[in-house]
Amino acid sequence: MGGLKPDHKTIAEYRRKNKRALKKALKQCAGLCIHLDLIAGNALFVDGAKVRANASRSKTHDRGYYEQQISGIGGRIEQLLEECEKVDQEEEGEGSWVAMDKGLANESRLKGKI
């Protein structure tokens, strides 16, 4: 790849085009983590950076509590995706923040037409 990395526009476009599948995958991931007792359902960081945990008896809940948490996760995912969409609209027309060698840029355009 020669050190090439997708810029924020590429990632934003992918997220915009695959919004429904992304929401489904995030909800399934959260449900699986709760089912496997990897998280308590009170905090989830999709990038894996931090997962808050507390195993004390006072933090143990019944099935109804977790079902309520799962339904709340869907709303939070929707909120995050809407925030991302808003930022995308604000950044529309700014262009790329990544400089690309002219030879590589021409190859990228040709690949899209082939």
Which one, of 53, 36, 35, lies nearest residue 45 by Cα? Answer: 53
Q: What is the pLDDT of residues 31-86, one digit of tens each?
A: 888 888 877 766 555 565 555 666 676 777 788 888 888 888 888 888 988 998 88
Domain spans in the chain, listed from the N-terminal domain onward = 8-113
> What values do phi and psi take at 41, rounded to 5?
90, 5
Q: Is residue 104 pLDDT above 70, yes or no?
A: no
| pLDDT bucket at 114, cuts 50 / 70 / 90 | very low
pLDDT number for residue 20: 92
73 token code pair = 């996760």
More confident residue, 98 or 8: 8
Find the helix packing angle between 19-35 and 63-90, rounded to 10°: 150
102 token code pair = 């002219």
Residue 50, CA distances (Å) to 35, 47, 53 in order: 18, 8, 9
pLDDT number for residue 95: 66
